Amino acid sequence: MKTQRQPSAIELSHVTKEYIIHHEKPTLVEKFYASANGKKEERFVALDNVSVTIHKGERVGIVGANGSGKTTLLKIIVGITAPTTGMVRTHGKVVSLIDLEAGFHPDLTGYQNIFLNGMLLGMERREIERKLRSIIDFAAIGQFIDAPMFTYSSGMALRLGFAVAVHADPDILLLDENMRAGDVQFQKKSKAKLQEFFKKDKTIVTVTHNLEFAEAMCDRILYLRQGKIVHDGGKEVLRLYDKQWKG
């Protein structure tokens, strides 16, 4: 008897992301002559015709060398950047634990930014008000909650951003292992909070270089190389990646 597959949470179809590389900022005249002479601008392909479907409740790890397109893929899923070509669809509320400070305004207080950032993440005001004390306690920034954001250290801003994000109750959670939110004590608290998401029927996609973490937490692995998914499978992909990386 076949197990019924869950509906899709994330769909990418023929997604390509290109960046134009300018070694020096060209003048308007230089742009005109480059066009007249048929010269093409240098382009970097971060993602190359990627098609993948991730289903509800899957815990997906993305591995690959630096520059293989892992973080670009997360940014396209959450909508931080748009694909050059191709289609992206998500089903449910998406919360990303990358660029945690993106929704903050420097002149507003931490308290005000909780409401601003929370609404940008799709939370209703009543929901934010209900979770406000929990968010403030989790961020652990003390009296700075009433100070403007431009007075915050980067660590304080990251802690507040993380606290708001994990209280947004996402259907899809995107993680970047390189994200560091605060000191050792806060990181322990953050990991405990993430464990709660792993136990629920949430769709989780994480970029990681930690193969032990991926082995323990992910049931599907995407292996990216030069902007392409070269392997998509179970935990055996980790051993293949480790062997190729070391070789």
* Ordered domains of the chain (ranges, CATH): 8-246 (3.40.50.300)
d(CA 210, CA 215): 9
Amino acid at 196: E
pLDDT digits (tens, 9 = 90+) for 159-213: 899 899 889 989 999 988 655 556 677 878 887 887 888 888 889 999 988 888 8
Task: For residue 91, count other CB atoms closer than 10 A to its CB.
Answer: 15
Q: Give the mean model confidence (pLDDT) for residues 240-246.
A: 79
pLDDT digits (tens, 9 = 90+) for 124-155: 999 999 999 999 999 989 899 999 999 998 88
Q: What is the DSSP letter of 79?
A: T
Overall size of the chain counted in residues: 247
Q: What percent of the chain stands above pLDDT 70?
A: 86
First to last CA, the chain: 41
**Closest-CA residue to 203 (of 6, 3, 2, 45):** 6
Q: What is the model's pLDDT at position 1?
A: 40
Question: What is this structure's pTM?
Answer: 0.80
Report the SS3 class of residue 207: strand
**Closest-CA residue to 64 (of 205, 240, 201, 186):** 240
